Structure 1
């Protein structure tokens, strides 16, 4: 989940915490004391002063939530059992630190119990898996730990749905590794440099992660062979101390005839056979960004059918003005185009994740579009390629489609600006029927809500706050939004004692004199109401999400 709204302004304090500047006078010099005052409230100093605001909230399974709790003593990894309502440490911190220090032979740089709160997931055998100091480990509830791999630093893998295998890249080809035995199997054999399988290389960013989409039955992998053989080179000289280093990578420029392309494939894991989809090479694009993957190891624009027989995917044009939703047969590679959409500016399906989903049981798709000048959801008939109806309408945007239940025909989504008079930057959770009717608001508090939905879609953790109220984390029922229990209420006593003052919510009229603009006003930490101050308007303009950073 993104950080609660109260914590986000901490990232911007430094820019406005220095000396006031008189409007008609020469700017005074900034003293060491001024910098010290600003540093007291910069994010790395201020955020640790917020106590009991759950962070890194995630679901281990349908009934267990894990999160990091923090106070002046340090961090603790807590687990909430939603079936019993009990919260307890996932591990005894001292026992976990001792076990890992012995396992990893940390010597003079031991892991400390007060700061040991790893990001965990469940393994197939019920133990907890996480990475610490570049080593993958498995630990049981008693903190008895072992290394997951015998190799010191194996290639990063993408876990299968059954949690028994992971896919990884080696020498431009795709492999799978059985986690229980360590057995490795090569799936492709014709991958070469600049024409490799599942490679995460957009040029300006790259990693060793494999870009794949596992089928629900863990027997197939959808991926691609990325062709950069004709793509031009980009160069960068480092500016660090010492001799400069020349870096180069494949990077197409505007106007280039030859650009990076992908050839889509489906791999049958048991037989290590490759089925190439029967279509021309696709652009190296997604509906979310200029890369195939906008999140490490994820391929957002590919959705498998529950029976693993077909998959839907979105193909995006080079300039993001057109997108096609296509359906592929995983066994034969046959592809058909269900429908397409063209935008005058550019098509984008969302900010956090691709806001569309595949419903093969009813031969439908839920699709995101801004054709009405608002980001809305539409229900499409995949047989005809025509929209059946608008699922959401009116003012306000759908920002994230979290879940669609094909049985109850219900969609859960995060929206902004859909309630009159509420700050349009506040995120709220809604549910709506695919068959018509008004959306139902599940998070009624006038605040910004961060949502973590359970894997079965029955409950969700809601952490909500404003710029002036501390975060509150609750467990809610996803059917009606009722509060099941309160998980934690943040305590900002230490933060306020350090001199922190919340920013003031403000509204102003736009140039047209009608449109209301919402914002936050940050005052210097030594604000003097008798003096005049400049207004800092700091934006990063462009066709993307605007943001303010410290």
Structure 2
């Protein structure tokens, strides 16, 4: 018997979504902001700002909230309270000055007074120097600095031109539509020297890169459609954006340019993986096909470049476990180099001599180092997190320490919690966030022995449980090969009746650059599976072979077979195994949904396995990877021949459609551009298949501003076609971005 859903069910589901859930469990997202001295940090929790001094073992208000509110009320002429400060872009300085924006104006709080701020620190997107004397910013593609003391400005570069400028991002991954949607300036990436005298910045050349044109059909002014042009390289195309590094002297206003040929830039991580080591510059260089990774040194006084370490492989040579994670290279004061590598099939740390000629192993074993936190050079110890030390779940991160000589391996945590740990740039202590799918993060400052120095936050889930929320079950299943263990999460439908059967929705993101169903409290896409559970669906998220976070062989399962989308056959095997364990799971009614690469996988599932998946909703999907950003196919598939590109396109499978398919895309998506969805639609029409399509005018890849509409249409689609009842007509409220904390 099908139970009709009501407005109350939809309202309960709405409260499961990320911004509402975050408010009910404040403290699950705690991001330390290090003061310039590096010894202290501050963070936001709800609407409060907290400062922590690990040396003094103290935690308290970062500033007097009530006093700031009173002063702001007078200065702005609008009443505010300390319990609900309407402040944005908050920057708390080491001298206890607070800079922020409120009511469309920029403010400075210092010495008990709140005044409007006209200094460079208010320039959107500006980056403060370590000594807090200067702010660097972009103007017309050039790099400028402004003196905080007197507000004077001067240019450090003057030769920028369209598509050949400094400090920006390549158009392929520049997220210009997203920054427009959020009202933010285009992102800027540069690196201040520790002594605040110089800036390392990339000069990016996109002049010869082919254009991609998106059309905004319904501009806010109601005028003619507006075209948005960007430079975008697709797989196998000859021309790609290139970059060179430049060192800008702030006082002398000189430029030292990289004295080697420009190198291809396939992703933004190339701009992040560069740093100052004392007075030297080091950066990671990856070949276009990602099969070679090098550590290079740039002499900031001459621009000469030397290669210190080279590693090559038959598939990708990754610098991290997950794409975009902080790199795991440290150049020590001795000149020695700590280097992370998967050369033994896992992911371990090695110690190289200063010239790169000699190497010794630091860590070893059938597990991997997932983050390098802190190298204590005085005691020659390093601190890191590791996956795979707990047999029951290889994704659980544990905090560890080891000597640089490979001796003295010590686990500082010994539990079944996931430890998401960070450290300030100079080390000295650790901020540990320990959680599980059922336990919100318990955050504390730890010392080098793993002992608690300062307790920070320990939220509970009582306010969520009142709404019917229950944590997902962490499960282990067997992959389609009949031997490899794989892992996932299962959310039970609210008010579960074991005598009934429930349709299943798989919430998928197959990577391969990350993993989806981690064993932490806030896995990626949290809130959406909980909402489906509130609507009476059972929900699963699964990490099959080909996704990241485990061995090199496990990850490489998708290399050359990216069309398999994280081993969809593994996902089917896991769902069937769960169905045998829980009779209330109806494995004859299985739907699937995802966004971006998850949308590719959702559509592919209903096309490749039409007798198992009967309903799919694919949002912002890269359905034809022959048209997607070049990095995706070239790094993660490896074959960009005509046959290779056809194997990673859903278009070729259009004739297989049997079930229900809803495609949703934003017309201004400059990441997975909408033409990929239209190519799939074209193929479905030519195959005379019925499907549903929603193109959202003005929307970008993340659908910021339209999430409530996209989610509601997704819910309605599954309720109608998988649940078997008519949606109640409920309308979701617009969703704001989740607050930090």
Using structure 1 for the length normalisation, give the TM-score: 0.83
Alignment-derived partner of residue 321 in structure 1:
291
Q: Is the 8 A contact 1:326 1:337 kept in 2?
A: yes
Is 1:193 the counterpart of 2:162? The answer is yes
**TM-fit CA distance, 1:111:** 7.5
Alignment-derived partner of residue 233 in structure 1:
211
Within 1, Cα distance between the matches of 2:469 and 2:24?
A: 10
Alignment-derived partner of residue 436 in structure 2:
466
Greater shift, 173-182 or 78-87, is seen at 78-87
Secondary structure in structure 2 of the residue aligned to 1:48 = helix
Q: Is the 8 A contact 1:225 1:265 kept in 2?
A: yes
Match for 1:269 among 250, 256, 259? 250
Within 2, Cα distance between the matches of 1:261 and 1:28?
A: 58
Alignment-derived partner of residue 424 in structure 1:
394
Cα separation, partners in 2 of 1:63 and 1:268, compared to 1, 3 Å: closer
Point out the structure with the larger helix share: 2
Secondary structure in structure 2 of the residue aligned to 1:505 = strand
In the TM superposition, what whole-angstrom CA distance separates every residue of 1:331-388 from its partner, at most 9, and x where no partner exists?
Answer: 11111111211222222212353423342532322122222221222222242x3451
Is 1:291 the counterpart of 2:261? The answer is no
In the TM superposition, what whole-angstrom CA distance separates every residue of 1:23-48 from its partner, at most 9, and x where no partner exists?
Answer: xxxx7664333312322323333332
In the TM superposition, what whole-angstrom CA distance separates every residue of 1:88-119 from its partner, at most 9, and x where no partner exists?
Answer: 3223333323333444x3759x6874255756
Cα separation, partners in 2 of 1:172 and 1:474, compared to 1, 3 Å: closer
Greater shift, 405-414 or 112-121, is seen at 112-121
Q: Is the 8 A contact 1:91 1:141 kept in 2?
A: no
Match for 1:357 among 329, 334, 340? 329
Q: Is the 8 A contact 1:129 1:139 kept in 2?
A: yes
Q: Is the 8 A contact 1:54 1:488 kept in 2?
A: no
Alignment-derived partner of residue 524 in structure 1:
493
Alignment-derived partner of residue 208 in structure 1:
186
Within 2, Cα distance between the matches of 1:36 and 1:426?
A: 34
**TM-fit CA distance, 1:234:** 0.6
Greater shift, 233-242 or 493-502, is seen at 233-242
**TM-fit CA distance, 1:537:** 2.7
Q: Is the 8 A contact 2:58 2:454 kept in 1?
A: no
Which residues of structure 2 form unaligned runs of 5+?
A: 177-184, 517-523, 529-741
Alignment-derived partner of residue 448 in structure 1:
418
Is 1:388 the counterpart of 2:359? The answer is yes
Cα separation, partners in 2 of 1:539 and 1:406, compared to 1, 3 Å: same
In the TM superposition, what whole-angstrom CA distance separates every residue of 1:191-229 from its partner, at most 9, and x where no partner exists?
Answer: 222211222233342453332111111111111221111
Cα separation, partners in 2 of 1:326 and 1:504, compared to 1, 3 Å: same
In the TM superposition, what whole-angstrom CA distance separates every residue of 1:402-431 from its partner, at most 9, and x where no partner exists?
Answer: 22233332222222112333x222222222
Alignment-derived partner of residue 439 in structure 1:
409
Secondary structure in structure 1 of the residue aligned to 2:23 = helix
Alignment-derived partner of residue 10 in structure 1:
none
1:144-223 to 2 correspondences below 5 Å: 144-149=113-118, 154-204=123-173, 205-206=175-176, 208-223=186-201
In the TM superposition, what whole-angstrom CA distance separates every residue of 1:300-342 from its partner, at most 9, and x where no partner exists?
Answer: 2212121x1x211111212222122111211111111112112
Alignment-derived partner of residue 20 in structure 2:
45
Alignment-derived partner of residue 372 in structure 2:
401
Q: Is the 8 A contact 2:87 2:101 kept in 1?
A: no
Q: Is the 8 A contact 2:22 2:28 kept in 1?
A: no
Alignment-derived partner of residue 77 in structure 1:
49
RMSD, aligned CA: 2.8
Within 2, Cα distance between the matches of 1:97 and 1:264?
A: 44
Point out the structure with the larger strand share: 1
Is 1:457 the counterpart of 2:433? The answer is no
Within 2, Cα distance between the matches of 1:426 and 1:99?
A: 47
Alignment-derived partner of residue 12 in structure 1:
none
In the TM superposition, what whole-angstrom CA distance separates every residue of 1:37-94 from its partner, at most 9, and x where no partner exists?
Answer: 3223233333322256573333434443423344xxxx32222333443433223333
Match for 1:100 among 51, 72, 77? 72
Q: Is the 8 A contact 1:300 1:353 kept in 2?
A: no
Which residues of structure 1 form unaligned runs of 5+?
A: 1-21, 294-298
Q: Is the 8 A contact 1:155 1:169 kept in 2?
A: no
Alignment-derived partner of residue 273 in structure 2:
301
Secondary structure in structure 2 of the residue aligned to 1:46 = helix
